[in-house]
Amino acid sequence: MALFEDAYGSPAELANILDLGLEMLFYVEEGAFSQRELQRVAGALRDINGVLKA
Protein backbone atom coordinates (compact mmCIF):
# COMPACT_ATOMS: atom_id res chain seq x y z
CA MET A 1 0.00 0.00 0.00
CA ALA A 2 2.93 2.34 0.65
CA LEU A 3 3.87 2.18 -3.04
CA PHE A 4 0.47 3.52 -4.01
CA GLU A 5 0.49 6.21 -1.33
CA ASP A 6 3.99 7.33 -2.34
CA ALA A 7 3.07 7.46 -6.02
CA TYR A 8 -0.50 8.75 -5.83
CA GLY A 9 -0.84 10.49 -2.46
CA SER A 10 -3.67 8.35 -1.16
CA PRO A 11 -5.78 5.33 -2.06
CA ALA A 12 -8.59 7.76 -2.91
CA GLU A 13 -6.40 9.55 -5.48
CA LEU A 14 -5.45 6.22 -7.04
CA ALA A 15 -9.14 5.28 -7.17
CA ASN A 16 -9.87 8.58 -8.96
CA ILE A 17 -7.18 7.86 -11.55
CA LEU A 18 -8.52 4.35 -12.11
CA ASP A 19 -12.08 5.70 -12.47
CA LEU A 20 -10.81 8.07 -15.13
CA GLY A 21 -9.10 5.11 -16.82
CA LEU A 22 -12.36 3.21 -16.99
CA GLU A 23 -14.03 6.20 -18.63
CA MET A 24 -11.17 6.47 -21.10
CA LEU A 25 -11.69 2.90 -22.22
CA PHE A 26 -15.22 3.74 -23.28
CA TYR A 27 -14.69 7.19 -24.78
CA VAL A 28 -11.08 7.48 -25.86
CA GLU A 29 -10.79 9.34 -29.10
CA GLU A 30 -8.39 11.98 -30.30
CA GLY A 31 -8.57 15.05 -28.11
CA ALA A 32 -10.84 13.50 -25.46
CA PHE A 33 -8.08 13.26 -22.83
CA SER A 34 -4.67 14.84 -22.46
CA GLN A 35 -1.54 12.80 -23.04
CA ARG A 36 -0.67 13.28 -19.36
CA GLU A 37 -4.04 11.89 -18.21
CA LEU A 38 -3.54 8.80 -20.36
CA GLN A 39 0.01 8.34 -19.04
CA ARG A 40 -1.13 8.60 -15.40
CA VAL A 41 -3.77 5.92 -15.93
CA ALA A 42 -1.31 3.66 -17.75
CA GLY A 43 1.20 4.11 -14.92
CA ALA A 44 -1.38 3.29 -12.27
CA LEU A 45 -2.42 0.14 -14.09
CA ARG A 46 1.24 -0.87 -14.49
CA ASP A 47 1.86 -0.39 -10.75
CA ILE A 48 -1.20 -2.44 -9.80
CA ASN A 49 -0.16 -5.16 -12.23
CA GLY A 50 3.32 -5.28 -10.69
CA VAL A 51 1.96 -5.63 -7.15
CA LEU A 52 -0.48 -8.34 -8.19
CA LYS A 53 2.30 -10.32 -9.87
CA ALA A 54 4.62 -10.09 -6.84
Q: What is the pTM of this model?
A: 0.58
Crossing angle of helices 35-53 and 11-27, in 10° steps, is 120
Q: Which pLDDT value is given to residue 1?
A: 62
Block means of pLDDT (10 residues each) for the chain, length 54 residues? 73 79 80 87 83 70
> What are the start-end ranges of the H helices in 1-54?
2-8, 11-27, 35-53
Q: Which pLDDT value is given to residue 3?
A: 67
Q: Which pLDDT value is given to residue 26?
A: 79
* The dihedral formed by the CA atoms of 2, 7, 37 and 13, expressed in degrees to the nearest 10: 50
Q: Which pLDDT value is given to residue 54?
A: 66
